[in-house]
Structure 1
Amino acid sequence: MIPQPTTQQALADTTFTLSPDATIGHDDATQTIADRLAAQLRRSTGYDLPVQLGAGTITLSSTGADTLGAEGYELRVDADAVTITAAAAEGVFRGVSTLRQLLPAKAEAGSTQDGPWEIAGTTITDAPRYEYRGVMLDVTRHFFTVDQVKKFIELVSQYKLNRLHLHLSDDQGWRIQVDSWPRLTEYGGSKQVGGGAGGHYTKADFAEIVRYAAAHYLVVVPEIDTPGHTNAALASYAELTADGTAPELYTETEVGFSTLTVGKDRTYEFLDDVFREVAEQTPGALVHLGGDEAHSTPHSDYLTFVPKAAELVVKQGKTVMGWHEIGDAPLPAGTVVQYWGTEDEKAQALAQKAVAGGARLVLSPANRAYLDMKYHAETPLGLDWAGLVSVEQSYSWNPATLIPDVPADAVIGVEAPLWTETLDELAKVEFMVFPRLPGIAELGWSDESALDWPAYRERLAAQAPRWEVLGINFYRAPEIDWA
């Protein structure tokens, strides 16, 4: 099972078998979860599986002890019943994710399969190590449709992640509708890497992504990258440039050449509008303002810009999030800084400075957590600027000790970013995400004492039949003895 539960004990001589007359019970808070579980099991088992208020053969209850927290749960598999108990619906959803892994892999099938549908008797008590467990999808270098993002959500939510970071603006494209600046999407969103047609999300599109993510207990974190990575915006509106001349749209993959004009009032009028409309479309607490690779922004200007941009995020009632470079500037209380270094001293120093100023950290070390890094030199997709990242290297690190001299309680979680310079279809995304993402998910969920590579690689191998049933185009890493 991935992530490894906090505690699990086998019940001797006990096996539960899902029978044709089974029912799924729920309370008022868990009906949607029950309906979704029933729908999947109906497809694979062919059973009726009526959903009912109250107890059932499988019972989902959100009336558990508050000590379980928002995401914790208890799961018990007896000979004649399965119960999942949590203090909130989100915890029940996490428990159902575990139940799906306890069932035979063919339970994930989209058509009727032969049984039996057995689960070994067990009790599990489980809760997350970190509050933030995320994955990032870059939809700027290559655009992904609403349906593709929804499929991505379905796949990643199996592993108890709770944040979906969407990188929505960059040099190559602007992907989220802003009514007050319509050319951002009309023109700035028209291309992607390689020169092909791009795309963007209307407000209705983005609302559907947010809704679907929430149904899978993922909170969307929108990113508007500033002051660099802004060519799509500059190409759309010449008034944002220093000399009033708009650059051409950019469809290559270099970085660091674009910048907003820090000394222009119009820059902050623009950002005020953008952050307002993005915040209005985002129920979550965080808005990510980027801040990375601003190589064309003079450093003194950068230090002026970051607090002003952050203030505009706070103005919308949101908490600021940004890449670790923003740690060099004064930041609002509670800011979340995302570390993406390669364990280099400069990046670590910026993270340390941010924490000293009161920021909290989400860790995304590029040489371990970046899902777009090649597995090995011959990997046909991805990049290698942060090194080659094997499945073992991606898993074998401890968030609590990665950055020296940072208190363990300053780290609130982990995130696995996926940049899409070389990824223009979902099958390629799957190839880079699986099998590394489950390991990052486990680092964010499971107790430190449970993190052990030899044991993990065996549990990871056992995921293969499930991925095959789901049709995931995963990479069969040679260091794993795949089932």
Structure 2
Amino acid sequence: MRRRRMLFSLLMVAAAGMGTTAAAAISPHPARAAATTVPLDRVVPAPASVQPGGRPYTLGDDTRIRVPAGSWESRRIAGYLADLLRPATGYDLPVTTRGGNDGIVLRLGGRHARGLGAEGYRLTSGGRAVTITAARPAGLFRGVQTLRQLLPAAVERRTGRPGRPGPWRIAGGTIADRPRYAHRGAMLDVSRHFFTVAQVKRSIDQLAQYKINTLHLHLSDDQGWRIALASWPRLATYGGSTQVGGGPGGYYTKDDYREIVRYAADRYLTVIPEIDMPGHTNAALASYAELNCDGKAPPLYTGTSVGFSSLCVPKKVTYDFIDDVIREIAALTPGRYLHIGGDEAHSTSHQDYVAFMDRVQPVVAKYGKTVIGWHQLTGARPADGAVAQYWGYDKTGAPERAKVVDAAKRGTGIILSPADHAYLDMKYDKDSPLGTNWAGYVGVRRSYDWDPGDYLEGAPGEAILGVEAPLWSETLSTSAHLEYMTFPRLPALAELGWSPADTHDWAAFRERLAAQGPRWDAQGIHYYRSPEVPWPDGR
């Protein structure tokens, strides 16, 4: 592990043409930096390599955003950046393909892009220009997220008098950056409580700021089925007609889902749909009686208990149903993965569970997707190339962990979502008004202070694909609820997925995290003011 970290640091130094890693560059006294510029090392997630120095760049009414000719993605990213900056600055910020070395310059390829990978970027700021260079458009977009954090927090305002306050300066120096892990995800449970397309888009924008690249949508559960399918229409119209507590529920049409996928892709997030099975299926069982072993449909369910429902494993119609569902959802989903759940199937015998997974995994492959399942999949026979999402916690027994580690040794990829570190729906403390506490209380430090690289002892390092922060919605029904539970913990988990292990330091992170508070205030994000974080206003 130490050798791999050293090689990574050397690669980033070579890519940037400099000799300072982020760990060495982070100031021990960030609060002493000049008030007019944000230090380059104040970014969340922590960059891989930082070298401050030189004159700052100042946005002005003559600033242009320059992009390479012939790259529509670069032009779209430039338009996204201009739309972010115009409301607060009041500047026109025209996007142009005309050459030049002034303004904001987005570049693809070239010698400065070597070693940056698919999502890495190099940001250089000086008196004439701030330049973001990347090998791929996704890297440009990640660099734009860093750029916005280097401007004063007021740049995030969308209302009020334009052009105040200023000046809009970006500190001089260079950042070279790329992610530690390829998978950096967040999960949104739209089944327990339904969230509209607009609400999901708001969440996507918030995730993108912290270089999250995957949105896992939990689309079905006991309390609601949330996507309309032509082959089984009552799944949505009846199975989606309620939610926890008995509210009206809701569902996405195919066009709604396509719009979510498109919006996420424009921000370089891939959507992974989840249809949970064979348990967590009461909404489906209530919609179609023939899916039940006794042929009788149970009532719709609006509670929060788990483990009582199961598809009928021996019935042929079960697999006709699954084939139809996977076929339609796969056709709507351009991403590589399809999540089949598989957790808490307490009403399914082990023998039936194994038989079920043996039949369902090939259906996913048949429609061109790779299986992801919750880590209970490793108690069956994971297909070649399958991925297990680990959600265990301190009380998870050694035999269960051992199955996951053994599967990882045999080639199963692992996404880490330990409930007592990564679950965003856990209460912060005993006084939290929202959330649950079955995995304990999860403050910001607990979200941050663990290392995905050594969390599952014995698992090969190459098997760890990354981290994901699930947000279950039993107690959450509004965007304000989602934000309160997401912030400030999501940035902590995003840093674990993105930043090199040798940048990991709670004392430094809490200072950088505190500086995000004014940005969230400017955006109207309803975050929890954790007492673990020294917020600038002292609250």
Q: Structure 1 length as normaliser, TM-score?
A: 0.99
The answer as to whether partners of 2:242 and 2:250 remain within 8 angstroms in 1 is: yes
1:164-199 per-residue CA deviation (whole Å, 9 max, x = no partner) reads 000000000000111100000010000000001000
Is it true that 1:95 corresponds to 2:146 in the alignment?
Answer: no
Q: Which AA in structure 2 matches 1:425?
A: T
Is it true that 1:105 corresponds to 2:153 in the alignment?
Answer: yes
1:295-354 per-residue CA deviation (whole Å, 9 max, x = no partner) reads 000111001111211111111110000000001111221111100000422431231132
Aligned-partner Cα distance in 2 for 1:44–1:244: 60
The answer as to whether partners of 2:392 and 2:418 remain within 8 angstroms in 1 is: yes
The answer as to whether partners of 2:409 and 2:460 remain within 8 angstroms in 1 is: no
The answer as to whether partners of 1:108 and 1:470 remain within 8 angstroms in 2 is: yes
The answer as to whether partners of 1:74 and 1:123 remain within 8 angstroms in 2 is: yes
Q: Which AA in structure 1 matches 2:334?
A: P
In the alignment, what sits opposite 1:293? Answer: 344
In the alignment, what sits opposite 1:46? Answer: 90
Q: Which AA in structure 2 matches 1:60?
A: L
Aligned-partner Cα distance in 2 for 1:194–1:354: 38
Which has the larger displacement, 66-75 or 154-163? 66-75
Q: Which AA in structure 1 matches 2:67?
A: H
Is it true that 1:58 corresponds to 2:104 in the alignment?
Answer: yes
How far apart are residue 79 of structure 1 and its match? 1.0
In the alignment, what sits opposite 2:520? Answer: 467
Aligned-partner Cα distance in 1 for 2:155–2:493: 25
In the alignment, what sits opposite 1:430? Answer: 483
1:357-409 per-residue CA deviation (whole Å, 9 max, x = no partner) reads 32000000000000000000110000000000010001000001111111111
Aligned-partner Cα distance in 2 for 1:122–1:372: 39
How far apart are residue 114 of structure 1 and its match? 2.5
In the alignment, what sits opposite 2:317? Answer: 266
1:3 aligned to which of 45, 49, 61: 45
Which has the larger displacement, 325-334 or 441-450? 325-334
Structure 2 SS opposite 1:166: strand
1:249-274 per-residue CA deviation (whole Å, 9 max, x = no partner) reads 00000000000011111111100000
Q: Structure 2 length as normaliser, TM-score?
A: 0.88
Q: Which AA in structure 1 matches 2:439?
A: A
Aligned-partner Cα distance in 2 for 1:319–1:148: 28
2:391 aligned to which of 340, 359, 364: 340
In the alignment, what sits opposite 2:78? Answer: 34
Aligned-partner Cα distance in 2 for 1:155–1:191: 27
Q: Which AA in structure 2 matches 1:43?
A: P
Q: Which AA in structure 1 matches 2:405?
A: Q
Aligned-partner Cα distance in 2 for 1:391–1:346: 29
In the alignment, what sits opposite 1:314? Answer: 365
Cα RMSD for the two superposed structures: 0.9
How far apart are residue 410 of structure 1 and its match? 0.8
In the alignment, what sits opposite 1:196? Answer: 247
The answer as to whether partners of 2:56 and 2:172 remain within 8 angstroms in 1 is: yes
How far apart are residue 141 of structure 1 and its match? 0.2
How far apart are residue 285 of structure 1 and its match? 0.1
In the alignment, what sits opposite 1:397? Answer: 450
Aligned-partner Cα distance in 1 for 2:458–2:117: 29
Q: Percent identity over the alignment?
A: 57
Structure 1 SS opposite 2:275: strand
Q: Which AA in structure 1 matches 2:453?
A: A
In the alignment, what sits opposite 1:21? Answer: 62
2:329 aligned to which of 257, 271, 278: 278
Aligned-partner Cα distance in 2 for 1:82–1:16: 6
Q: Which AA in structure 1 matches 2:527?
A: F
The answer as to whether partners of 2:514 and 2:535 remain within 8 angstroms in 1 is: yes
2:115 aligned to which of 61, 64, 67: 67
Q: Which AA in structure 1 matches 2:142?
A: R
Q: Which AA in structure 1 matches 2:96?
A: Q
The answer as to whether partners of 2:406 and 2:459 remain within 8 angstroms in 1 is: no
Is it true that 1:237 corresponds to 2:288 in the alignment?
Answer: yes
In the alignment, what sits opposite 1:378? Answer: 431
Which has the larger displacement, 65-74 or 132-141? 65-74
Aligned residues: 482
Aligned-partner Cα distance in 1 for 2:119–2:218: 26
Aligned-partner Cα distance in 1 for 2:115–2:49: 15
Structure 1 SS opposite 2:405: helix
In the alignment, what sits opposite 2:466? Answer: 413
Aligned-partner Cα distance in 1 for 2:410–2:362: 16
The answer as to whether partners of 1:339 and 1:347 remain within 8 angstroms in 2 is: no
In the alignment, what sits opposite 1:478? Answer: 531
Structure 2 SS opposite 1:68: coil
How far apart are residue 66 of structure 1 and its match? 4.6
In the alignment, what sits opposite 2:500? Answer: 447
Is it true that 1:359 corresponds to 2:412 in the alignment?
Answer: yes
In the alignment, what sits opposite 2:202? Answer: 151
How far apart are residue 159 of structure 1 and its match? 0.2
How far apart are residue 15 of structure 1 and its match? 1.6
Structure 2 SS opposite 1:290: coil
Aligned-partner Cα distance in 2 for 1:186–1:94: 39
Structure 1 SS opposite 2:246: coil
Aligned-partner Cα distance in 1 for 2:417–2:434: 20
In the alignment, what sits opposite 1:183? Answer: 234
What are structure 2's unaligned runs of at least 5 residues?
1-42
Is it true that 1:132 corresponds to 2:183 in the alignment?
Answer: yes
How far apart are residue 356 of structure 1 and its match? 2.9
Is it true that 1:82 corresponds to 2:124 in the alignment?
Answer: no
The answer as to whether partners of 2:327 and 2:367 remain within 8 angstroms in 1 is: yes
Aligned-partner Cα distance in 2 for 1:369–1:114: 37
Q: Which AA in structure 2 matches 1:467?
A: W
Is it true that 1:257 corresponds to 2:298 in the alignment?
Answer: no
In the alignment, what sits opposite 1:211? Answer: 262
Which has the larger displacement, 353-362 or 202-211? 353-362
Aligned-partner Cα distance in 2 for 1:365–1:477: 21
